[in-house]
Amino acid sequence: MNTDRPPVAAVLFDRDGTLVADVPYNGDPDRVRLLPGAAAAVRLVRRAGLGTAVVSNQSGIGRGLLTTEQVRAVNERADRLLGGVGAWLFCPHAPDAGCACRKPRPGLILEAAARLGLPPARCLVIGDIAADVLAARAAGARGVLVPNAATAPEEVHRFATDSAPDLLTAVREALTEAGTAAPAADADGAGSIWRPPMPTTSARRSGTGLHPPPAEGAPVAPPVRPAALGPEAVAADAGGVGNALAVPPVRPAATGSEAVARAAAGVDAGRRAWGRGASRASFGADRRRSS
């Protein structure tokens, strides 16, 4: 056991490629599929009495390919399949927005730790690409890489000492180090599973972004309209609809429409390539661009 760092008190999971199968810019809850071991890993963490959260980049909103409500619907479907996660947070901004929350920046990790009432140093972040590990380090948390088909070989090599072959192993090693390992039978669903109190449905929905749930009886800000995307959506988020950590609205760049067009074309090309049995390396590159 490593005694130089505080024991893990919460596990923060990446979403796409870590808990659920990665479908680029997915806004359809019916397409959500858990990856092998995902539900069991979350159960192990709950059984050990640790906090849980999901932190993910969802740039499809900023690119104009998704709405905030679509991302929330996908999150709610994944939450039901996983049996309940303590908090769901996401960054809605495009990569060039300069926000504080898009991984590898630390905003999502810091906010998740605050939601769980813990210092970042007691949080473990598990993800499938370098941005997840780097965001953890930037926040003062620990990061573990669980490589998959989308993980670049150089990232696997770079984080070889902070990696695990699969999600269940990553969770078990963290729990063992913390001295809170759950029985192995729990991974198969046996035994008593401790579950933290879950917030109400309305509170969970309002808490899906980086803004806290409204107080009882308080008016809820309307969701971002599908027509108000790109710079307009970022401005709305900065006003409190989706992201309290957002920087002031980004000025519309001359290349904004071109970037959206390239992103949309890239998704179409990626899906066609995947259907033809594209190589792991090519799909991995598309995965890193699309998140």
Cα 151 to Cα 148: distance, rounded to the nearest angstrom: 5
**Best CA proximity match to 133, nearest among 107, 163, 111:** 163
What whole-number distance in Å separates Cα of residue 202 and Cα of residue 268? 35
Burial of residue 141 (CB within 10 Å: 0-12, 13-18, 19+) is buried
Active-site residue identified among 4, 14, 162, 286: 14
Catalytic residue among 4, 16, 96, 166: 16
Q: Which tokens belong to 56?
A: 């993910």
Distance CA 92, CA 97 (A): 10
CA distances to 34, 74, 87, 115, 239 from 78, rounded to whole Å, are 7, 6, 12, 20, 27
Three-state secondary-structure class, residue 178: helix
CA distance 1 to 265: 48
**Burial class of residue 222 (count of CB atoms within 10 Å of its CB; 0-12, 13-18, 19+):** exposed
Based on the residue annotation, tell me whether 16 is a catalytic residue of this protein: yes
DSSP class of 121:
G
Specify the residue for token string 């269940």. 168
DSSP 25-72: T---GGG--BPTTHHHHHHHHHHTT-EEEEEEE-TTTTTTS--HHHHH
Q: Please list, in sequence order, all residues whose beta carbon lies within 8 angstroms of the beta carbon of residue 64, skipping any fewer than 6 positions away.
A: 229, 230, 233, 260
- Paired with 10 in beta bridges are 51, 123
14 is catalytic: yes
Residues noted as catalytic = 14, 16
